[in-house]
Amino acid sequence: MTPLNFRQDQVWGDLLLRWWQGLDKDRGGRAALRRAPDITAVVMLPTYQHLHRRLLAAGWPVDGWRDDNLAAAAGLLAHVKQNAGPALPVAMSQRESDKPRVSPLRFQRLLESADIDALFVGLRRALPMVQHQADVFALATDVVNWGDTVKKRWAYAYDWPDKASN
């Protein structure tokens, strides 16, 4: 499948960014997204449906698994407080004291997520470890396109600690 990308200079990226920024005014919608325990719960929320409908009107492909991945991305973006920082795997491997923010074992489990629901839960737990900061476009793009290509890119980007320093 052709990867779908969110960039600021294209319509989907602009819609996504404006939707994410609008969550500051839609506190109830953001809170509902943050409480959603799984992707099914995200899909049933009007706040997500508004984003989905806007993207469909802008040419988003109609296909179930991408919609579930989009719902996961939207649910995760509700946890992002600041659109900043390095790529998520880089941020997760940055050191606090002498340990990475996200341990290698936890990071490996993210890479081995059995499905998008497991990835959603794992990333939702990891976002506080990176101070709720992420590049909105990169996070959404990676979650929507989650698969071997993204997993490999993340594995290469994570700064794995030496065995001796564990």
Considering the four listed CATH numbers 1.10.520.40, 3.40.50.620, 3.30.1360.120, 3.40.50.10070, the one that applies to the domain covering 11-165 is 1.10.520.40
Structure tokens at 29: 């919608």
The residues spanned by each domain of the chain are: 11-165
Query: Tell me, what's the pLDDT at 138?
Result: 96
Nearest-angstrom CA–CA distance, 87 and 148: 17
Q: What is the mean pLDDT of residues 11-16?
A: 95
| Number of helical H runs and strand E runs in the chain | 10, 4
CB proximity list for 2: less than 8 A, separation 6 or greater: none
pLDDT band at 132 (very low <50, low <70, confident <90, very high): very high
pLDDT band at 9 (very low <50, low <70, confident <90, very high): confident
Torsion of CA 30, 36, 41, 43, to 10 degrees: 40
Percent pLDDT > 90 in the chain is 83
Q: Over the stretch 84-121, which tens digit does the pLDDT of each residue have?
A: 988 999 999 999 888 999 999 999 999 999 899 999 99
The closest of 151, 157, 147 to 3, measured between CA atoms, is: 147
Q: What is the mean pLDDT of residues 70-76?
A: 98
Percent pLDDT > 70 in the chain is 97
**CA separation (Å) from 106 to 63, 65, 99, 112, 113?**
30, 25, 13, 10, 11
**CA separation (Å) from 157 to 40, 67, 133?**
30, 26, 17
Query: Tell me, what's the pLDDT at 62?
Result: 79
**CA separation (Å) from 51 to 3, 42, 118, 122, 144?**
19, 11, 22, 23, 14
